Amino acid sequence: MFVYADNAATTAVSKAALDAMLPALQELYGNPSSLHQKGREANYALIAAREEIARCLNAESREIYFTGGGTEADNWAITEAARLGAEAGKKHIVSDTIEHHAVLHTLARLEKQGFEVTYLPVHDNGVVRLEELEAAIRPDTCLVTIMFSNNEIGTLQPIREIGAACRKKGVLFHTDAVQAVGHVPVDVEADNIDMLSLSGHKFHAPKGVGALYCKKSIKLKNFIEGGAQERGRRGGTEAMPGILAMAAALKESCAHLEENMAKVSAMRDRLIEGLSKIPYSRCNGDPGCRAPGIVSFCFEGIEGESLLLRLDLAGICASSGSACTSGSLDPSHVLLALGLPHEIAHGSLRLSLSEYNTMEEVDYILQQVPEVVRMLRQMSPVWSHMLENTEDPYLAMAK
Ligand SMILES: *Cc1c(COP(=O)(O)O)cnc(C)c1O
């Protein structure tokens, strides 16, 4: 059996997205900035795509800027909010320790440029404490940036309350909603969001296209110099195939949001229940407040990498955490921020589902993972050390 359970890294392109993309590669090849009929035709399609994205977020279409993905949107939003802040003499930013590297590395650059950043710690379930956030906002704070849904452990932050707190104090609020848009309800008005990043390939559109929502009252400046595209703020001929596909994919995700959420959370809950039966395992993140598709576990006594290789041989595509940190030997900064010791954080497994997965696949995962964990533990020196030093009857039995 083959199971793709790495949807937080990227998703398969949907039929709706592909159907929207093909005309852009074939007959709709005009440059939307051209005045002739081919250009106009492309421009109408672009306008419709922008309206569609705006509608799904409850934004206005002039508040949507297309980008080359989630990373660019994060860089742009944070860099611009910081520039606006500095102009007003405000050089303090509030964020947290479990953000994506697109946010953390942008903040690190700003710190080198003289900004001060407060990184809020998270509860052991990965949630930011609202009181701490409010207390961290100072008269010189120009931006609060907190992600909507965490890509490794799936924890959802209290975005609406955070947004309300920022409004009350007159501070800009940006959220990296790359793992939320298309997966859970996102409403920039109701959620009090000023700036939001999204990425197409996390909801069945192709890679390399995303968007930044920026409230119309914010005087956003261009991030990429060039032509007058994106209201003069992001030069470069629009990536039409990706943009049209992204709009179609988001339209479909939003139209089926409730049913997809119900389907995917039921699979997630079955996975969590089944994996929790493995002794010395730990489910990371919040049990209730989590994205529909993300399951994160740590298994004591084993290496996440070996687990992934074995699962791959069994046809299961999973991840140890974020796709961006795999390849490095450091345990995930997110798991460490939850307070997990290094040796436990090393034995991590992330399974991320989409509506394309099935219960049969979940059952196959639940048949394979306990088997592989048992086998790896038999070969693990860390595990045998635990066995030798234990009073625990379960472990004693395994001696
Ligand atoms: C994937 C991801 C990004 C980066 O998006 P790209 O489109 O791949 O650049 C940013 N933030 C989060 C939370 C993500 O999951």
Residues 195-241 have pLDDT tens digits of 999 999 999 999 999 999 999 999 888 888 888 888 888 889 999 99
Cross-strand bridge partners of residue 120: 96
Q: What is the CATH number of domain 3-9+256-398?
A: 3.90.1150.10
Residues 239-283 have pLDDT tens digits of 999 999 999 999 999 999 999 999 999 999 999 999 999 999 999
Asked whether 205 and 56 are in contact (CB, 8 A), the reply is: no
- Lowest-pLDDT range, 54-63, 172-181, 343-352? 343-352
> Phi and psi for 125 in degrees, rounded to 5?
-95, 0
- From 7, 176, 181, mutation site for ligand 1 pocket: most ligand atoms within 8 A of C-beta: 176
Provide the token pair at 4. 């793709």
**Angle at alpha carbon of residue 162, lines to 157 and 165, rounded to 5°:** 165
178 lines ligand 1 (CB under 6 A): yes
Provide the token pair at 112. 């080198």
Catalytically annotated residue among 56, 166, 289, 324 = 324
174 lines ligand 1 (CB under 6 A): no
pLDDT, position 399? 55
Asked whether 212 and 235 are in contact (CB, 8 A), the reply is: no
322 lines ligand 1 (CB under 6 A): no
pLDDT, position 18? 97
Q: Rounded distance, CA 149 to CA 365, Å?
A: 24
Q: In the β-sheet with 281-283, what is the strand arrangement from edge to edge?
A: 281-283, 294-299, 348-352
> Phi and psi for 277 in degrees, rounded to 5?
-75, -15
Looking at domain 15-255, its CATH architecture is 3-Layer(aba) Sandwich (3.40)
Predicted structure pTM score? 0.96
Asked whether the predicted pLDDT for residue 307 surpasses 70, the reply is yes
Asked whether 151 and 8 are in contact (CB, 8 A), the reply is: yes
Is residue 166 annotated as part of the catalytic site, yes or no? no
CA-based Rg of the chain, rounded to a whole angstrom? 22
**Boundaries of every domain in the chain:** 3-9+256-398, 15-255
Residue 197 makes CB contacts below 8 A (sequence gap 6+) with 70, 73, 74, 77, 102, 174, 175, 176, 177, 178, 210, 211, 212
Asked whether the predicted pLDDT for residue 326 surpasses 70, the reply is no
DSSP-derived letter for residue 380 is -
